Structure 1
Amino acid sequence: MNRFRKAAIGLVLSLVLALAATAGFAEEYVLKIGSITNETHPYYVTFQKVFVPYIEEASGGRIKVEFYFNAQLGGDREMVEMCQFGALGMDCATPSTLSGFDKRFQVLGLPYLFPDKPTAFRALDGELGQTLNSYLPAINLYNLGYFENGFRHVTNNRKPIYSPEDMDGLKIRTQENPMHIAFFRAVDANPTPINWGELYTALQQKIVDAQENPLVLIYEAKFYEIQKYVSLTGHVYEPTMLVTSKIWFDSLPGDLQEVVKEASRRFCEAERKLIHEEEQKARARLEEHGMVVNDLTPEQIAVFVGKARKLYDDSRSLLGDEIVDLAIKTTAKE
């Protein structure tokens, strides 16, 4: 073998080794996603059908997704804290949970802030949502999109709710959100914050008589087994936020950050459509399981709205005029 052939073979081997080394150093990233909801909820379904296929294909397999649903890692607060420290990549977190980290997120808990879903989407995708997002990097988080659970409604074992008088003395579980608590006090109920993971047992043991959640969660949690009435009060619209660890996201190269952003956008868009479909099914399913579901007339809702309005003025000293005024301006129905 002459020296020129040896040199050629050596060059080929060097190129092969260089390519192998390059492929070996294509770093992979693991995205851990947590939620208190279970694997039949629209969150999980949409992640599996939309988010995962896109992110794995667009990243060329460099991002692998792991799920920790059904409160495997604890409640929402625990998972948000994990995101802050980079132990979890994403959490499906509610503004109520985030209000424990920055009180201004309580503005989304103002009762009857959103008259309907199109208004909510416009405000959250626009100036209101962007302003709230800007508060998160200071606490080591990003929000990559608003999706939803729907409007919150009251269930109880006492009777259908048509008026504030029907709420008098009702022991109702709420989230740890001062706005929610203040609203139920305004209608003479007895609000009691209880962790989601303990709620079913609390209702079963009659520690509380009632709770309030969107229809899909009411069905998924099987509250029909221990609650009789569902009253469609629609007192709070429940957005959910794709809260993302700043530590994890900033560790990604720029091209993969764009992949995650686009996957998140597609996820939120698809989840909103799916949750709307599932809400319609959830009502029918709850009735099939024996729950009595009652609508309220616009006039009956207006009485609740009147009770809630004082909270808007009271909230200014806590949250600041700027965010309250912005919320009111951007949620006015067109």
Structure 2
Amino acid sequence: MQIKYTLPLLAVAGFLFATYTAINSNNPTPIAEAITEPASAPFKAFIAGAGIIEAQSRNIAIGTPLPGIVKAIAVKVGDQVKADAPLFYLDDLDTLATLAIKRADLTKAKADVTIAKATFNDAKSLSDLAEAVTDRRAISAEELLKRRNAMLITKARLESALALVQQAEANLADTETTLSRLIVRAPVEGEVLQVNIRPGEFAPTGFLNTPLLLLGDLNQLHVRVDIDENDAWRFDKNSKAIAFLRGNRSFKVDLSLAYVEPYVVPKKSLTGDSNERVDTRVLQALYRFDRKQLPIYVGQQMDVFIEARDYSTNKDSENSQNDAKGPSS
């Protein structure tokens, strides 16, 4: 009897469980509450864009003209540096050894010039004595020719020695230039934003995803705004613009246009929104603002709203005028 009723009961229980699971799976997933309320546009018609803070001089990714092992770092994050100040040093032992060789070569070349000058002066004196003899019977034509040729040969050797001095000086200057290039210096006055290299590490040349060192002039900050290419035709350089600090919309600041980069580029700055388009191009406008009004850092994002002309009002006005005129006869 127990087996007779057990199987139907299990079947009913399985059906009820499946029904319960199906009903619960159809319930909408509750939407997670936003950590902070998003900023709202202060204009009736506007262009919205994501902005990212950067230095007035742009964020300068410092590279090295020569590859090598880093010997020492001269700065740390947050340091204020003057233009041409040393940032870090590359290993220079090989270059210093080469420099010593080039200096010795220059010293030898100058010594050879001294010898060549003395030899030339001796040959010239003998030639002058021979030329001063008025009685050609006192000296043979062959001897006179030898002395003339000897003077010309020593003169050519002197010129060659002088040329070798110039070559040695050029080689020395080349090595000194290489030595100076092993000291990476600041191209502009600014603040050190990042240091991503350590003593003993290898510093490569060329483009790097992570710069060796990041530098920027923070006396004035800019916000780089990405304007979708579909809204580029609505953008007006003279329009008002307001930026809200990402994460706290109570911090806002009026923007003034610094300049617009007229070349439309592929979008790179991502906001993280699930509905964000990434397969688009953007017009980049750079705005300046008073950094004292905001607790903000380079690389931080802002929500930017730019006032735009309300074209929908113009269309409604045109439609009403067409309706008032009626059909054309």
* TM tier relative to shorter chain: under 0.3
Which of structures 1 and 2 has the larger relative contact order (alpha carbons within 8 angstroms, sep 6+)?
2
More strand by share: 2
Return the TM-score normalized by structure 2: 0.21
Higher-Rg structure is 2
